[in-house]
């Protein structure tokens, strides 16, 4: 999922324009797999984020869990991870929604 300014988002929706990362404010990688997750998924996403510049919000969201991947995301410069996300786990959903809400409020300077 990507968060762009409204002008860029409208251009993408209308004409299928390829957006410039200069207008990218947030990126979330969402992986919902039946199989085991690997650390390579996290590394690929972090590499992509490095090419995107400074973002207001970033996160790695998955319904699974992997110890190596969880350890990889503990470094300060990594995106916020959300493991075991499922409608059947309301506390995890609440934490995810709260994180997104807080990040957007900080970005928009809304209390």
- The DSSP secondary-structure symbol of 75 reads S
* Distance from the first to the final alpha carbon of the chain: 24
Residue 66 lies in a domain: yes
Q: What is the pLDDT of residues 34-57, one digit of tens each?
A: 888 889 989 999 999 988 888 888
In the chain, the number of structural domains is 1
Residue 1 lies in a domain: no
Residue 12 lies in a domain: no
Any bridge partners for residue 59, and if so which? 28, 80
Indicate yes or no: pTM above 0.85. no
Residue 32 or 111, more confident: 32
pLDDT value, residue 6: 86
Residue 9 lies in a domain: no
Residue 6 lies in a domain: no
Domain that holds residue 79: 28-108
Task: Report the distance separating Cα 101 and Cα 73, nearest Å.
Answer: 21
Residue 55 lies in a domain: yes
Q: String of b and e for 68-82 (b: at least 16 CB within 10 Å)?
A: ebeebbeeeebbbbb
Q: Is residue 110 scored above 80 in pLDDT?
A: no
């Amino acid at each position: 999922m990507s968060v762009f300014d409204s002008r860029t988002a409208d251009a993408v929706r209308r004409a299928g324009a390829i957006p410039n990362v200069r207008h990218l404010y947030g990126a979330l990688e969402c992986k919902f797999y039946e199989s085991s997750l690997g650390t390579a998924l996290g590394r690929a996403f972090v590499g992509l984020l490095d090419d995107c510049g400074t973002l207001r919000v970033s996160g790695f969201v998955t319904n699974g869990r992997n110890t190596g991947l969880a350890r990889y995301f503990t470094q300060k410069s990594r995106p916020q991870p959300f493991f075991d996300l499922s409608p059947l786990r309301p506390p995890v959903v609440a934490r995810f929604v709260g994180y997104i809400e807080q990040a957007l409020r900080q970005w928009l300077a809304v209390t």
